[in-house]
Amino acid sequence: MLMTADKAVLLVVDVQERLLPAIHDGEAILANCIWLAGVARRLGVPVVVSEQYPAGLGPTAADLKAVLAEARFVEKTHFSCVSDGCLGGTEVEARRQVIVVGTEAHVCVQQTVLELRWQGKEVFVVADAVGSRKPLDKALALERMRAHGVDIVSREMVAFEWLRRSATAQFREINRDFIRDN
């Protein structure tokens, strides 16, 4: 199955100021989340952002929040967004495909993703835009999610599948602003 912009929603899980410095390769994870959120915005793909206990972990990273003007923000205290119920009434509930980025891969991302999959959603985890404090935890989480029918993809795979074809002004714009030199 291919990802399509008209059926997809981007779910950004807990990319928060106080957690990010502890994440292995955190700056790269943040940059890839910003990149994909920018592509989503240009292509009209809705974005939902969760924040795990923001009073303790702080808000979403400022650089990411800056590109999320139209995004829906939800707060949670459960590790899984699904268990918390914070996705009710959002585009995650309304759309068939959920593309997931964020932290931590082996905790909040994994629990959310597995529950979304069990609900029958088509779920795609962007490997270069998820992270954990320890690389082994991320690797194990990706392996486990894949074993449960979740597609593991890259940010460019998402962008090119959302775009579908090259002979358009939209492709030229995305290629120029996101793909060519990134």
- The pLDDT of residue 171 is 87
The rounded distance, in Å, linking the Cα atoms of 48 and 130 is: 15
177 has pLDDT over 90: no
What confidence tier does 161 reach under pLDDT thresholds 50, 70, 90?
very high
**What pLDDT score was predicted for residue 179?**
86
The single-letter DSSP state of residue 77 is S
State phi, psi for 127 to the nearest 5 degrees: -60, -35
Judged against a pLDDT cut of 90, whether residue 119 lies above it is answered with yes
Number of helices and strands in the chain (H, E): 9, 6
Question: CB count, 10 Å around CB of 117?
Answer: 17
Task: Please give the domain boundaries of the chain with CATH numbers for all domains.
Answer: 8-179 (3.40.50.850)
The pLDDT of 135-159, averaged and rounded, is 97
Helices (DSSP H) in the chain: which residue ranges?
Answer: 26-43, 54-57, 62-65, 81-84, 91-94, 110-118, 135-147, 155-163, 169-174
CA distance 158 to 128: 11
Per-chain mean pLDDT for the chain:
95
Mean pLDDT of 121-126: 98
Please measure the distance between the N-terminal and C-terminal CA atoms of the chain and give it in whole angstroms.
26
Give the model's pLDDT for residue 169: 83
Owner of token pair 């090259």: 166
Average pLDDT rounded to a whole number, residues 143-170 = 94
Answer whether residue 172 shows pLDDT above 90.
Answer: no
Collapsing DSSP states into helix, strand and coil, what is residue 151?
strand
Dihedral Cα 112, 118, 122, 125, nearest 10 deg: 30
Summarize pLDDT for 35-70 with one digit per residue, the tens.
Answer: 999 999 999 999 999 999 999 999 999 999 999 988
In whole angstroms, give the CA distance from residue 90 to residue 98. Answer: 12
Region 99-107: what's the mean pLDDT? 98
Report yes or no on whether pTM surpasses 0.85. Answer: yes
The yes-or-no verdict on residue 170 having pLDDT over 90 is no
